[in-house]
Structure formats: C-alpha cells, structure tokens
Amino acid sequence: MSRTQRGAQPPLPTRDGVSPSSVVLPAGNWPDMLSFMTERFPAVTQEAWQRRMRAGEIVDAHGMAVMPDEAYRPQRRLYYYRELETEQAIPFEEYIVFQDDYLVVADKPHFLPVTPSGRYVQETLLVRLKRRLGIDTLSPIHRIDRETAGLVVFAVQPETRGRYQELFREKSIRKQYEAIAPWRADLAWPMTYRSRIEEDAVRFMQMLTVEGEPNAETVLDVLDVQGLWARYALSPITGRKHQLRAQCAALGMPILNDLIYPELFPEGSDDYARPLQLLAKSIDFDDPISGQARSFQSSRTLRFPHE
C-alpha cells in the first residue's frame, strides 16, 4: 500500500494519528472497484472493503466517495485508511525528550516501529506521537530499526523538514549508538571500520558484506568490558541500512540478541525479554532554523547478559 503523493494535500484527514494512504489504479480490466481492491489488497476481506466503501472511507483525488459497484477507471488516484483486523499491542512506552515549533525528539523503546508498515499501524512511534501531541504534520527526518531503541527526530512543519534532512545528507549530524557485543581484545581500539554492504537479493531482510569500494563507515570504541562482553560506542559516518548490525557481525562481534545478523531468524521471533542491545544514545547538530547547537541524550541503558 502506497503513501500519499509527496507534497499533495490528501482529501481525507488524519484519523487516530494515521494519515491516509493512496494508490493509482493501474491498467487493467477489473469489472468494478470492489473487485480491484479485493485483488490488490488480499489481506483485507471483500466484506471489509465493501463496508468501508459504503461508509465513504475510500475517495478519489476530488474527495468523491468510491462505491463498490463503480466502473474501474485506470490512472485514477484513490485515498483510503490503512486498517488491520488485529494489531498486537507493544507494551513499551516512548518518551518526549524535546519539543518546540519545529522539532520533536522522541526516545523510542525496543520493538516499536517508527512508521506504519506491514503488520504495524497504530503501534508505531509516528502514530502514537500524532495522537499524543495532536500534530498531524509530524514527520520523521530519519529512521532507526524497529528492534533498536533510542532517539528519533521528527519535523513539525513540512516546509522546514527538508532543511533538517539536508543535515543528514551533508553528514552534519553527529550520532552515537551504544551496543553490547562480544569483547574483541584482539582488535585495536578505537578503530574506524569501512566496508561495502549491499542488499541480499534472496534474504531481503539482511545486508551482505561484499568485496568492493567501501560504502559504509563507522568509528568504534570501547566503553566498558564485563567478562566476555563489552559495551561499545558506535558512531556511524554513513547511513546504510542495518550498517551497525552488519558491520559488527562482520567484525566477529554480533550485537547481543540480534535476530538478523549473523543468522536470520523467522519473522515473529521477537522475545520481549531479549531486546536487541543496540541504542541510539545521542544526537548533536546545529539547528538550521535557529542556529542553536542541539544536543539530545537517550535516558535508556543497555544490559549485559548477566544483568
């Protein structure tokens, strides 16, 4: 299910913190709109689509309700709300670290996705914050993995979001993560690790470490050692998908409780008692709007295996 067009004002309002999604009708010969929606989105029953259409919850770009028996017309853009028949509650809370007219900084718990995707809609950081703060325009300027805890920065105003995102493109934001992983006394600390990571064409959840020109760079140091384990400081210079997790695994120090590296476990293997020990601990940057130096810290901490 696609999102609304960037920059376009959707004809449906935000509902329960969820902005409407949209889809452009492809070329095809479906007999009516109900047939198309049922085939395109099989996770939603035909009865549910029919109910939602008759309730006026599926509209076109002009805000006109789409009826189930209406003729199918390619290239028409429809707007609708993503709904899940059942959605598991995630029993951990986020914290607001900072809020002004331009930014909201949240401290995300483990297991909570940043934005709606797949089997998560209401149980996402963005939707929770929209409901809690009443800010429909809230939008993340960066992401962290669902399994990772820590700081996420949101833009309040769509007009200024690009200026904050530019800081990431220019590598002007300083981020530090912490991780619990096996202690590698044989490596020289601190170190700068560069590698090339690419998406795995078969196991799309994993990134592969391959030969070639490095495209991922991280500065690593040791904060604490307890027996066979250590707490590391990880400062990513680049922002590749799963960069820290993939690089730590490639160094022979996979992050504690990682269900993707080095071994990919089946989806749904979450264990709330064993969160991934990776934390987006701090973020620092010069605010492009106010010119102020911004510095934020997560209040969360990681746990060694014996704690």
pLDDT at 19 (0 to 100): 79
Give strand pairing partners of 119: none
Structural domains of the chain ordered from first start: 21-80 (3.10.290), 95-297 (3.30.2350.10)
Closest CA to 87 of 59, 66, 113, 53: 113
Cis ω before 26 (30° cut-off from 0)? no
pLDDT tens, residue by residue, 80-117? 887 776 788 899 999 999 999 999 999 999 999 999 88
- Buried b / exposed e across 105-140, counting CB within 10 Å, b at 16+? bbbbbbbbbbbbeeebbbbbbbbbbbeebebeebbb
Per-residue confidence (pLDDT) for residue 44, from 0 to 100? 83
Task: Round to the nearest angstrom and report the end-to-end CA distance of the chain.
Answer: 42
CA 285/CA 288 separation, integer angstroms? 9
| Low pLDDT (below 50) residues in the chain | 1-7
What is the average pLDDT value for the chain, to the nearest integer? 91
Query: What's the pLDDT score for residue 20?
Result: 82
DSSP symbols for 247-284 = HHHHTT-PPTT-SSSSS-PPTT---TTS---EEEEEEE
Check residue 6 and give its pLDDT.
44
pLDDT given at position 22: 87
pLDDT score of 164:
95
Task: Give the relative orientation of helices 46-54 and 33-40 as an angle to the nearest 10 degrees.
Answer: 130
